[in-house]
């Protein structure tokens, strides 16, 4: 249930977006007449300077004005072109998560509150922040290990960020519910579910112990891999509000000239980056979902080092098989198999015709086979695939969209290192090995093993299932004889909730009316 504060914050969001002329960036062709009228009205409120600025960055600039919580929301939505559209996703991808630093005293207080020890007892040196984002900021520090000084990076949560986000997410839920109600064609995208995903993702990101755990897991997965690693975590100095990790000395992947001066082989780096990402995705089902150039370094040994594991993605065995079979089907031009995989996985509703779907898949695949391999974008292929599946009512799959968006970013980084980089040639060793291990005879053995384990678990649970079934049957029989009854406490709670909802709605309407009057008075 939305509170009056959520309506007030919604009006503020609308006012800032209107003043920055951000509504003009929203495509109007699919909007209902009332929404198009509101869009034109919002254009009249825009600042003259905002109208003269480049249209492509208006939404990003407006979101930055709204504050840290909304920057995080904007970055999340930039990973969901299926929800906001490719054009708006590209606009939001311009968001720079660079915020003003907060005082060192606040960082010290957060560390001491989280770890229960003084900063001076934990670190031999603790310096001023070197960078700040919407969620946290990073301090260089030094620790003593066996009498030796070791430089570390200390990431500290921004004070009050959880409270601000909890208040702002309520307004976002209000927007998503209104979207489902007034824009029925968007219900397929499940905006309320998307907001829940955003809430869960950000809550995870705001617990730095979980980021440390993600670093540790990816480190375990990649310890035998060559050319890729992540920083080691200092668990003694890590808590909910602080994570301490190995300091990385290296060249950022965005610094192409710096990489050349350091003598690194750019083509080999691009190949290692792509193969590492696909290995994490297919082999481990766990990948860094924010692998842009700012989060990637190359150390003196030539290893790619990925930092900032606040956003990660997971793929189950079914999703990994789905991805591999799609890539394999396109390579072999077996479009019927690609279509069948979608139906077998349950991603496309069964009432659609598989042959028609295969025809749509062919429209994507055939143009690819006439091009040089180095010009074919795997990320573009997946983007086109998701556009086609929209025509066949494929429900949004957040984990697949996150994978597709991350692949777009990773492929983009590889092509900045080498504009003629051959994605397919670099991918074949990883994808080919996974297909041979999981789509051939080994798959049958693995499926039999998994099926046997599942059967054993079911057999162990049979007595409990039988007992629950008997209880449910008895309760159902009693309900059919005596009817459904609420106890007094439940009935009273329902009445109070209904009254509270009505009262909140009236208050919210008065707040909106007062705000509109105030805006009109200001404009006058």
Please give the pLDDT value at position 105: 94
Q: What does the pLDDT average to over 503-515?
A: 57
Q: Which of the two residues, 118 and 494, has the higher pLDDT score?
A: 118
Report the pLDDT value the prediction gives residue 57, as an integer from 0 to 100. 67
> Distance of CA 237 to CAs 117, 118, 124, 247, 424, Å?
9, 11, 13, 14, 42
Q: What is the mean pLDDT of residues 318-347?
A: 80
In this structure, CATH architecture of domain 97-162+204-247 = 2-Layer Sandwich (3.30)
pLDDT of res. 125? 95
Rounded Cα distance, 204 and 310, in Å? 8
**pLDDT of 177 higher than 70:** yes
Is 290 part of the annotated catalytic residue set?
yes
pLDDT value of position 333: 79
* Lowest-confidence segment of 7-16, 114-123, 479-488, 515-524 by average pLDDT: 515-524
Using CA atoms, how far residue 289 sits from 22, 45, 313, in Å, is 27, 37, 6
Alpha carbons 101 and 107: distance in angstroms, whole number: 10
Q: What confidence category does residue 228 fall into, taking pLDDT thresholds of 50, 70 and 90?
A: very high
Q: What digits encode the pLDDT tens for the residues 406-456?
A: 887 888 888 889 888 887 778 888 887 887 787 666 555 555 665 666 666
For residue 489, what pLDDT is reported?
65
Q: What is the pLDDT of residue 280?
A: 94
Among 185-194, 275-284, 510-519, the range scoring the smallest mean pLDDT is 510-519
Spatial contact of 334 and 361, defined as CB atoms under 8 Å apart:
no
C-alpha 94 chain-centroid distance: 16
Question: Is beta strand 296-299 parallel, antiparallel or unpaired with respect to 242-246?
Answer: unpaired
Q: 101 by DSSP, 3-state: which?
A: coil
* 3-state SS, residue 388: helix
Output the pLDDT for position 452: 64
| 86 DSSP β-pair partners | none
Q: CA angle 198-201-203, nearest 5°?
A: 105
Q: Which residues of 237-264 are buried (b: 16+ CB within 10 A; e: fewer)?
A: bbbebbbbbbebebbebeeeeebeeeeb
Closest CA to 151 of 250, 244, 252, 262: 244
Catalytic residue among 241, 290, 299, 450: 290
Q: List strand residue ranges (DSSP E) for 272-342, in order.
A: 286-288, 296-299, 304-306, 312-314
Contact 245, 153 (CB under 8 A): yes
**What pTM was estimated for this model as a whole?**
0.71
Domain ranges of the chain: 4-96, 97-162+204-247, 251-434
pLDDT value at position 270? 93
Supply the mean pLDDT for the chain. 79
| pLDDT (tens digit per residue) in 260-298 | 999 999 999 999 999 999 999 989 999 998 888 888 999
User: Which of the four pLDDT bands, split at 50, 70 and 90, describes residue 90?
Assistant: confident
pLDDT at res. 166: 82
What is the number of alpha carbons within 13 Å of residue 456 lying toward its C-beta? 6
Percent of the chain with pLDDT over 90: 25
CA-based nearest residue to 78, from 98, 65, 95: 95
User: Which one is predicted more confidently, 5 or 249?
Assistant: 249
Looking at per-residue pLDDT, the higher value among 322 and 221 belongs to 221
Segment 327-348 mean pLDDT: 80
The DSSP secondary-structure symbol of 132 reads E
């Amino acid at each position: 249930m939305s509170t009056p504060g959520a309506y007030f914050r919604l009006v503020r969001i609308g006012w800032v977006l209107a003043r920055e002329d951000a509504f003009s960036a929203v495509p109007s062709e699919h909007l209902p007449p009332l929404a198009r009228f509101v869009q034109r009205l919002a254009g009249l409120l825009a600042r003259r300077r905002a109208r003269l600025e480049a249209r492509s960055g208006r939404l990003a600039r407006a979101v930055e004005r709204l504050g840290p919580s909304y920057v995080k929301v904007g970055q999340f939505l930039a990973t969901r072109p299926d929800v906001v559209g490719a054009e708006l996703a590209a606009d939001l991808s311009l968001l720079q998560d660079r915020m003003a630093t907060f005082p060192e005293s606040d960082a010290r207080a957060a560390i001491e509150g989280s770890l229960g020890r003084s900063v001076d007892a934990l670190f031999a040196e603790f310096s001023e922040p070197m960078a700040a984002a919407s969620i946290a900021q990073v301090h260089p520090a030094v620790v003593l290990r066996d009498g030796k000084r070791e430089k570390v990076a200390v990431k500290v949560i921004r004070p009050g960020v959880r409270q601000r986000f909890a208040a702002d997410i309520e307004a976002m839920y209000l927007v998503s519910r209104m979207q489902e109600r007034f824009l029925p064609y968007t219900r397929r995208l499940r905006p309320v579910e998307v907001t829940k995903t955003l809430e869960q993702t950000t809550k995870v990101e705001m617990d730095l112990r979980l980021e440390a755990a993600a670093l540790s897991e990816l480190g375990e997965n990649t310890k035998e891999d060559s050319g890729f690693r992540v920083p080691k975590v200092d668990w003694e100095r890590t808590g909910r509000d602080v994570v301490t990790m190995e300091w990385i000395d290296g060249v950022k992947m965005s610094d192409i000239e710096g990489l050349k001066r350091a003598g690194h082989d750019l083509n080999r780096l691009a190949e290692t980056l792509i193969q590492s990402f696909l290995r994490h995705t297919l082999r481990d089902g766990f990948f860094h979902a924010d692998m842009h150039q700012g989060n990637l370094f190359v150390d003196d040994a030539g290893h790619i080092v990925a930092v900032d594991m606040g956003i990660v993605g997971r793929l189950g065995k079914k999703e990994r098989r789905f991805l591999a079979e799609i890539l394999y089907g396109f390579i072999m031009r077996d479009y019927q198999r690609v279509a069948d995989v979608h139906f077998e996985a349950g991603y496309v509703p069964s009432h659609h015709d598989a042959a028609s779907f295969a025809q749509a898949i062919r429209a994507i695949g055939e143009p690819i086979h006439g091009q040089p391999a180095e010009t074919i974008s795997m990320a573009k292929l997946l983007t086109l695939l998701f556009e086609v599946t929209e025509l066949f009512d494929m429900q949004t799959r957040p984990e697949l969209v996150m994978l597709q968006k991350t692949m777009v970013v990773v492929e983009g980084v590889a092509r900045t290192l080498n504009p003629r980089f051959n994605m397919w040639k670099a991918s074949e060793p990883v994808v080919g090995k996974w297909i041979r291990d999981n789509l051939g005879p080994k798959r049958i053995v693995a499926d039999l093993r998994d099926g046997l384990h599942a059967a054993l678990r079911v057999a162990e649970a049979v007595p409990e299932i039988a007992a629950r079934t008997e209880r449910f049957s008895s309760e159902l029989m009693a309900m059919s004889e005596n009817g459904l009854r609420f106890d007094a406490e439940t009935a009273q709670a329902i009445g109070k909730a209904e009254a509270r909802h009505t009262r909140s709605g009236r208050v919210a309407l008065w707040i909106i009316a007062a705000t509109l009057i105030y805006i009109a008075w200001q404009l006058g």
